[in-house]
Amino acid sequence: MADSPRFFQRLRNVFSRASDKPNSGSGIAAELTRLIGPRRIDADALEELETRLLAADVGVEVTETLLEDLRRRVARQELGDVQALLNALREDIVRLLKPVEQALSYESAERPFVILVVGVNGSGKTTTIGKLANRLQREGKQVMLAAGDTFRAAAVEQLGIWAERSGAELIAQTTGADPAAVGFDALGAARSRGADVLIIDTAGRLQAQAQLMEELKKIRRVLGKLDPTAPHEVLLVLDANQGQNALRQAEQFTADVGVSGLVLTKLDGSAKGGIVLAIARKLKLPIRYVGIGETSEDFGPFSAEAFADALLSRGSRHD
């Protein structure tokens, strides 16, 4: 999209701002440059890098994988200074993330394309739905929203505000209604009205709440009665501030309801976006979008290169 360069610049900027917060340390690139200075890269320099990668919530396994490659290159005297080290690290991060840089395709044999949005309480599901709806409407798609979080009246109201902003149509029932019935009725309405995309909100739940996870499975089954291929995407919304717990959430939701894509939210409030690397390495789930703020403009497609630049808090090649 035309707004991508500006979005990638904002992504880099919010990481830089997050890294300036108390107790967060500076960006990895700036901190290493300050600590290592002009000296050649040695074991001490790699140890400094390891500390900063772990502080960014990259995780032990991914950090060791990255360092293993860098150690080999240092041994071959390929990395003479800190800039060469950072360039090599960026290359390795991009290589790790490229396979999960997969845009969501809305083409399918059936209409509408059905997206079931799941996640824990407070992850930003409803806001993500609103931003996505706004984006799709701008692309000329007819979007319908289903208020499947029937336990909180505020959730329906919030989704209604986003529907009004984006021009999407909202399907809602009374508080306490069966979420599966809401999804079923919404799919029927979306088909009859020729909608291109149906996005279904769900109540937030912890990944350990078996009863609520069964409810998600029921929604999937009921949708399948109208369209055996639905939902076409199960989008898991993860709060980047959750760190390693976000990885555990992704593992459990994937096992229980078959997650097919991820959205990483609240990156503007975290200096620990390295959890994205751990999720990419372990689960290999496509990362569809990232959120870096409250407005529709603070939501965009995931880019491995832009994210690597942002994580290192260095100038983006998309500027």
Give the chain as a 3 state SS string: CCCHHHHHHHHHHHHHHHHCCCCCCCCHHHHHHHHHCCCCCCHHHHHHHHHHHHHCCCCHHHHHHHHHHHHHHHHCCCCCCHHHHHHHHHHHHHHHHHHHECCCCCCCCCCCEEEEEECCCCCCHHHHHHHHHHHHHHCCCCEEEECCCCCCHHHHHHHHHHHHHHCCEEECCCCCCCHHHHHHHHHHHHHHCCCCEEEECCCCCCCCCHHHHHHHHHHHHHHHHHCCCCCCEEEEEEEHHHCHHHHHHHHHHHHHHCCCEEEEECHHHCCCCCHHHHHHHHHCCCEEEEECCCCHHHEEECCHHHHHHHHHCCCCCCC
- Count other Cβ atoms within 10 Å, centred on residue 71: 14
Distance in angstroms (rounded) separating the CA atoms of residues 156 and 152: 7
pLDDT digits (tens, 9 = 90+) for 284-305: 999 999 988 777 888 999 989 9
In Å, how far are 122, 142, 292 from 241, measured between CA atoms? 11, 33, 12
Q: HSE, CB side, 13 Å, CA atoms: give it for residue 33.
A: 12
Q: What pLDDT does 13 receive? A: 66
pLDDT digits (tens, 9 = 90+) for 133-166: 999 999 999 999 999 998 887 888 999 999 999 9
Please give the CATH superfamily to which domain 113-302 belongs: P-loop containing nucleotide triphosphate hydrolases (3.40.50.300)
39: left (phi over 0), alpha (psi -120 to 50) or beta: beta
Q: Domain extents for the chain?
A: 4-100, 113-302
Quick check: 196 and 111 in contact, CB under 8 A?
A: yes
Distance in angstroms (rounded) separating the CA atoms of residues 102 and 93: 16
Quick check: 240 and 123 in contact, CB under 8 A?
A: no
pTM over 0.85: yes
Q: What pLDDT does 23 receive? A: 41
- Count other Cβ atoms within 10 Å, centred on residue 40: 14
Print pLDDT tens along the chain (319 aa): 445 556 766 666 665 554 444 344 457 888 888 888 888 898 999 999 999 899 888 889 999 999 999 999 999 999 989 999 999 999 999 999 999 999 898 876 678 999 999 999 888 899 999 999 999 999 999 999 999 998 887 888 999 999 999 999 999 998 889 999 999 999 999 999 999 999 999 988 665 567 788 999 999 999 999 999 999 999 999 998 888 888 999 999 999 899 999 999 987 655 567 888 999 999 999 999 998 877 788 899 998 998 888 888 754 444 3
CATH number for domain 4-100, candidates 3.40.50.2300, 3.30.1490.20, 3.40.50.1170, 1.20.120.140: 1.20.120.140
Two tokens, residue 151: 């336990």
Q: What pLDDT does 219 receive? A: 96
Cis peptide before 22 (omega within 30 of 0): no
Distance in angstroms (rounded) separating the CA atoms of residues 187 and 200: 9
Q: Torsion over CA of 159, 164, 170 and 175, rounded to 10 degrees?
A: 40
In Å, how far are 53, 163, 204, 299 from 178, measured between CA atoms? 45, 21, 15, 30
Closest CA to 48 of 85, 102, 100, 11: 85
